[in-house]
Structure 1
Amino acid sequence: MTGRASSSSRVLLVIGLTAATAVFLVTVPLHRDWFDVGVYYGTVNYWINDGGQIYDYLRPGTHYGFTYPPFAAVSMLPMALVSWPAAVLISIGLSVAAAAALLHWLAGPVISRQGWSRWFAFALAGCLFALLEPVRDTFSFGQVNLVLVALVFADARLLSTGRGRYAGAGIGLATAIKLTPAIFIGYLLVTRRWRQAALASGTAVAATLLGALGAPGASRAFWTEALWDTDRIGSLAYVSNQSVQGVLARLEPAAPSRTAWLVCVLVVLAVWAYRARRAAAEGDDWSGFALTGLAACLVSPITWVHHLVWLIPALAVLGDTALRRGHRGLLVGTVTLYVVLCSSLVWLWRWNSTGPAAFVGANAYVWISLALLVSLPVRPARETRPDAVAPSSGPCAVNGSRPANEAFPVPGAPTSTGT
């Protein structure tokens, strides 16, 4: 009877939390009305049905146009065959599928190891995931961010489960769709995964050439003009730009120093390369991928808030480490960072991002990225092997913890030549 009552309570709790989450998501301020999927949809139709050029299209009433490489437009060609509502539903469906895959990879091993009820834990994790501001924005903009993260971390999954020889294609496809994931090819290189780096590079080049064959004029326009035209993307100083360049632009809106940005980027990349190689040497490639996502957000000239889905794996690593070690302070830190990333805090300075308070608050997500880059735990192999278990005592321990198939690398496994 007690078991049935407990199960009923969990069902009611999940229903209540899911309903509350859904109400919040459909009523929350700053809903983006699927702006970006509107750009994709308009671009593809302008190109295919109206005979226009990809990079000549601007969404009506704005100066925003298509900013991705031509292969991205080629991959979105099915949009020319469907209605606008269907395009929105496709965008939502792809993001839901990507989110489900990421939750399975990131939360699944933790849930199994702690011995929690899988359906209940995944339901709670799904609600928590949906409340993150980068996730909310990705859905409401109709962005491709979650799909790209899933493509990249599919390779991380392959590498961590002994199938590293097939890894790299996901990174290559993501890079051909949007240039930011190219830094993960850099991760493969700095950790000497030559085979996977070659596969990722070859996939990216092949997809880019396919885009060039499908749209030769657009390819020429992108690589010679559109790629360098930041006005197509937006103002560097806009508060949504949570990159190092955004911080510098808000300090000097009239003329942000390119020299200062370059120095900062080099420092960030040096820290990232050092920590990434250390993670790989310890057998913790999952943390290495998470660190690479952080570096990508920091060094990109423009990192809108919805791009910060790349921070989610780092949060997962932080929370997982706190539970593994029974470290209350680390768990509190994870929860605090999560709450800030749900808060829309930076928008308090949307209209005025100058002054000491704004320097701290308007750049809050940049400070989180930097803090995680320098302090994200790198776990020794004994913590990341499949038979590692949670502590049997301590503030974060859970009675009945049991080993599980982990989504982390195993020292000496066939993945030693892959990431």
Structure 2
Amino acid sequence: MAKVALPVSPVERKLPAPTWWTILAGALLLVVFAGYTVWAGVWTTAGVYLEDFRSYVATGKAVRAGTPLYEQGISHLPTIGGTFKYTPFAAGLFVPLTAIPKLLLPLFALLVNLFSLLAVIWICLGSLGHARDNGRIAATAALTALALPLQPVLMNFTAGQVNLILLLLVLADLTGRNRWWTGAGVGLAAAIKLTPAIFVAYLLLTRRFKAAAVSVATFAATVLAGFIALPRDSAAFWAANIADPSRITGDSDATAPENQSIRGALARILDIPDVSGPIWIPIAAAVAAAAFWIALRAHRNNQELLAVSVIGALMVLVTPWTWTHYWVWFIPFFAMAATAAHNARTWYPAAALTATYLLLFPWQVGTGRKDIPLVGLVVLPENYAPPAQAAAHALYVVLGLALLLLAGIRPTWLSPPNPQKVTTTTKATTTTGVRGQAPGGGVGVRPPQKGETPG
């Protein structure tokens, strides 16, 4: 008889959960939420609160009325250029918004984004091995309270954007257990905003062919549904140059500080508003090759949250036009860094996290249209010194590249390997077998056949 240890699952880590900490975390979330309502009131008074969300509602109404969604000069949606920016399938998803009473729409948008943020933090902590206990609940509340003021997150709440929902779809899909429907979340996210399709390449790279097939099949089903429900709009959308950034921005000027992509950073450095593909695509390709290698290594080391987050950061970096609110992919890194700072025996991780947090904090740097606050160092206005502007306007790109570099050279600083829990079972072994082979060796033992004697 011999005892054999078999790996079962990652060890569940415990977070501190004294009563005072749980109460403090909940109170912090309530205070931040109350502060956000004051912030939202300023934008509501200016008449620009939830602008993107209002465009989603208008798109739902246009679908019901049969109004064209993608035709310049004919479509009259409250968006840049008057046209819808997402897929026809996404337009169909916005139709139910038209059934919600107008007075309840702001509350609905707020609760959806708040739930998405809470769920993202909860999933991140779970992926890092933390048990489903009061400690994880308190940590989720505290980290959500701290994440909401980050400029990319705050602007998603203020504009009523969908980026937190897309982040949730991808994380829930790829960081949990493999199921037969794994990949469907990626397919749905790509069906709304196209860019998450990069995760199909990640699934192929990590040899999860079934999940990649589910993603592609889900996406294809949404395209087919779009053609069935909105044939004219679907033909117009898929026949257009969907990779043209002017479809999103209304012009080809990539130098605006709101464009926090590799293409935008290069446009500002070279002072080329319409920076061409031969200039920025080779650089983006080199970053992509490095990021995929980093993600593959993290996946093989059972650091799935880190792997998925690296691909998410890459997605935002290589998009031709990246609004600052796309950078909600900072959130998983924030959760990983906060956990690392909590577990560290030195003050350096906490200091680095604090410094990065302050860079992402929504400091008011001026006033924008209709006197609304202009927040975030990344959009530093022209009345500041040119060197400060240049550094600030590259902030998210530099931070994104720095996170990829850190994930490449020191991955355990963000996501320490999760030890495996083992169970011990008793297994009968035979003392006979291949001549010279000790019991329990690596060579299989053929059982005696009929007519043979052991020996």
Letter aligned with residue 272 of structure 1 = A
Mapped contact 1:158–1:166 kept (Cα < 8 A):
no
2:311: which partner in 1?
292
1:397: which partner in 2?
none
- Deviations 1:102-124, CA, capped at 9 Å, x for gaps: 12112357695799745543332
**Alpha-carbon offset, residue 387 of structure 1:** 5.1
Compute the TM-score of the two structures, normalised by the length of structure 2: 0.75
Mapped contact 1:172–1:203 kept (Cα < 8 A):
yes
1:358: which partner in 2?
389
1:114-133 alignment runs, 5 A limit: 117-133=135-151
Aligned to 2:139, the other structure's residue is in SS state helix
1:26: which partner in 2?
38
1:347: which partner in 2?
379
1:213 is matched with which residue: 217, 224, 228?
A: 228
Q: Does 1:307 align with 2:339?
A: no
Name the stretch that deviates more: 307-316 or 322-331: 322-331
Q: Does 1:192 align with 2:207?
A: yes
Aligned equivalents of 1:316 and 1:61: distance in 2?
33
> Aligned pair in 2 of structure 1 residues 326, 64: CA closer, same or farther (>3 Å)?
farther
Letter aligned with residue 27 of structure 2 = I
2:442: which partner in 1?
none
2:55 is matched with which residue: 26, 39, 46?
A: 39
Mapped contact 1:107–1:125 kept (Cα < 8 A):
no
Compute the TM-score of the two structures, normalised by the length of structure 1: 0.81
2:268: which partner in 1?
250
Letter aligned with residue 160 of structure 2 = G
Q: Does 1:319 align with 2:338?
A: yes
Q: Does 1:266 align with 2:299?
A: no
Name the stretch that deviates more: 128-137 or 286-295: 128-137
1:97-176 alignment runs, 5 A limit: 97-108=115-126, 112=130, 117-159=135-177, 163-176=178-191
Name the stretch that deviates more: 66-75 or 328-337: 328-337
1:400: which partner in 2?
none
- Deviations 1:224-254, CA, capped at 9 Å, x for gaps: 2262453342242221111111112223244
**Alpha-carbon offset, residue 206 of structure 1:** 1.1
Aligned equivalents of 2:311 and 2:281: distance in 1?
18
Aligned equivalents of 1:282 and 1:302: distance in 2?
33
Letter aligned with residue 357 of structure 1 = A
Aligned equivalents of 1:114 and 1:337: distance in 2?
28
Aligned equivalents of 2:49 and 2:416: distance in 1?
47
Structure 1: gaps spanning 5 or more residues: 1-5, 389-419
Letter aligned with residue 378 of structure 1 = P
Letter aligned with residue 30 of structure 2 = T
Aligned equivalents of 1:287 and 1:13: distance in 2?
25
- Deviations 1:209-231, CA, capped at 9 Å, x for gaps: 11121111111111122624533
1:279: which partner in 2?
298
**Alpha-carbon offset, residue 66 of structure 1:** 1.4
Aligned to 1:202, the other structure's residue is in SS state helix
Mapped contact 2:89–2:225 kept (Cα < 8 A):
yes
Mapped contact 1:71–1:207 kept (Cα < 8 A):
yes
**Alpha-carbon offset, residue 326 of structure 1:** 3.4
Aligned equivalents of 1:332 and 1:148: distance in 2?
30
Mapped contact 1:41–1:80 kept (Cα < 8 A):
yes
Aligned equivalents of 1:8 and 1:292: distance in 2?
38
Aligned equivalents of 1:167 and 1:195: distance in 2?
8
Aligned to 1:255, the other structure's residue is in SS state coil
Letter aligned with residue 47 of structure 1 = V
Aligned equivalents of 1:239 and 1:248: distance in 2?
11
2:439: which partner in 1?
none
Residue identity (%) = 30
Q: Does 1:180 align with 2:177?
A: no
- Deviations 1:336-383, CA, capped at 9 Å, x for gaps: 22221223111213x479943322111111100000011124349982
Mapped contact 1:129–1:135 kept (Cα < 8 A):
yes
2:404: which partner in 1?
373
> Which structure's residues are more often helix, by fraction?
1
Mapped contact 1:248–1:261 kept (Cα < 8 A):
yes
Aligned equivalents of 2:384 and 2:311: distance in 1?
28
Mapped contact 2:257–2:379 kept (Cα < 8 A):
yes
Letter aligned with residue 203 of structure 1 = T
Aligned length: 378
Mapped contact 1:138–1:145 kept (Cα < 8 A):
yes
Letter aligned with residue 227 of structure 1 = I
> Aligned pair in 2 of structure 1 residues 382, 46: CA closer, same or farther (>3 Å)?
closer
> Aligned pair in 2 of structure 1 residues 109, 156: CA closer, same or farther (>3 Å)?
closer
> Aligned pair in 2 of structure 1 residues 280, 19: CA closer, same or farther (>3 Å)?
closer
Letter aligned with residue 232 of structure 2 = G
Name the stretch that deviates more: 87-96 or 281-290: 87-96
> Aligned pair in 2 of structure 1 residues 326, 166: CA closer, same or farther (>3 Å)?
farther
Letter aligned with residue 145 of structure 1 = N
1:201: which partner in 2?
216
Mapped contact 1:137–1:306 kept (Cα < 8 A):
yes
